[in-house]
A = this chain, B = another copy of it.
């Protein structure tokens, strides 16, 4: 008695145009902090990018970001035959546009030199034109004078570092000594540099993850993959709290399925993502309980203890059932394969049912 499909009644789905809506990214806050989703490395037509500055804000809203910096190159302005160089142009054009959309816009610029020292973003600046100096050290000094957060960009970029492995040159050590490197990119574009984790840990500076987009975000990362993000744990959602948190190094980085950060942030972050129920059922052999993953990040749990499931995938925005042999008496611990807490370490967690 399979019924014919009767199309007499049509549910009309209305789809009114809704540009500028901000997607909700399901990532938890940490106790005492709000998690700000950020991208601090973006280009526009005012250096070698392909888009008008407001596009970067529209993209950020669509992707659910809370803060961005537009960081056009100081020393590389290949469109200058058509667009006169104005190092603060993107800022001037975007400032009120961002404000009206509740997006924190960070004033920034990119100091663009050969390696060493390579490329650095100066963030939270006042006037990029004052940072344009012949000597790179003068540029750094001018940025610091404006209170800048200095971020070393893509330190393993093969065009500048052919073996792909970030390396501290003398100038970097000098900067470090002055306390002038505040962050280093672990993720840039589609690359990552594992060794950056140790550099950041040893010098107590912030891990950064940014897109460095020149073209369109939607073309670069597709619809199924999130762009690289710096997650900043700020006391509040506003410009000054963001700045305070970054100088304090309270960041993690996130790209595709991979989350990277110090254990002191990664561990509570993971536990805020998940909820483990009491067993909802048991029989002679097994306990059955559920783990809810409220976040957009799937977690791949591996290296389970003896007699427990060897691996468990906690799919994003899903509830996963765990069937546990009653003989397991030890804490139910796993490595989370996609949460890196060191160059070669992953987070160890426990499911408390």
Interface of A with B (CB < 8 Å)? Answer: 1-9, 11, 13-24, 26, 45-52, 54-55, 58, 62, 73, 76, 78-79, 82-84, 86, 89, 93, 99-102, 112, 154, 157-159, 164, 189-193, 212, 214-216, 218-219, 223, 255-258, 280-281, 288, 290, 292, 294, 300, 311, 313, 315, 317-321, 323, 337-338
Task: Judge whether A7 and B17 touch: CB under 8 Å.
Answer: yes
Kindly provide the distance from the CB of A182 to the nearest chain B CB, expressed in whole angstroms: 23
- Residues in B with CB closer than 8 Å to A212 are 3
A21 & B158 in contact (Cβ 8 Å cutoff): no
Selected from B79, B101, B159, the residue in CB contact (under 8 A) with A4 is B159
Chain B residues with Cβ below 8 Å from A292 are 24
Q: Is the CB of A215 within 8 A of B55?
A: yes
Q: Give the distance in Å from the alpha carbon of A51 to the alpha carbon of B217 in the complex.
A: 13
Specify which chain B residues have a CB less than 8 angstroms from the CB of A154 in the assembled complex: 3
Whether the Cβ atoms of B16 and A313 lie closer than 8 Å is: yes
Copies of the polypeptide in the assembly: 4
Cα distance, A281 to B93, chains bound together (Å): 18
Given A50-B51, A83-B83, A100-B281, is A158 in contact with B6 using a C-beta cutoff of 8 Å?
A: yes
| Contact B8–A164 (Cβ < 8 Å) | yes
Is B191 within 8 A of A288, CB to CB? Answer: no
Residues from chain B with a CB closer than 8 A to the CB of A214 are 2-3
Q: Chain B nearest CB: distance from A285 CB in Å?
A: 11
Q: Are B219 and A58 in contact (CB under 8 A)?
A: yes
Pick from B99, B190, B216, B257: contact of A218, CB under 8 Å: B216
Q: Are A102 and B48 in contact (CB under 8 A)?
A: no
CB neighbours of A21 from chain B (8 A): 313, 315, 318-321
With a CB–CB cut-off of 8 A, which chain B residues contact A218? 216, 218-219
A338 touches B82 (CB 8 A): no
Would you give the shortest CB distance from A40 to chain B, in whole angstroms? Answer: 17
| Known A-B contacts A218-B219, A319-B24; A256 and B300 likewise in contact (beta carbons under 8 Å) | no
Beyond A8-B164, A22-B318, list 12 extra A-B contacts (CB 8 Å): A1-B48, A2-B215, A3-B157, A5-B17, A11-B257, A16-B311, A23-B317, A24-B294, A51-B52, A51-B216, A100-B321, A218-B218
Contact B52 A50 (CB under 8 A): yes
- A216-B55 contact given A191-B9, A257-B13, A313-B16, CB 8 Å threshold: yes
Q: Could you tell me the distance between the alpha carbons of A11 and B294 in the complex, rounded to whole angstroms?
A: 23
Whether the Cβ atoms of A157 and B6 lie closer than 8 Å is: yes
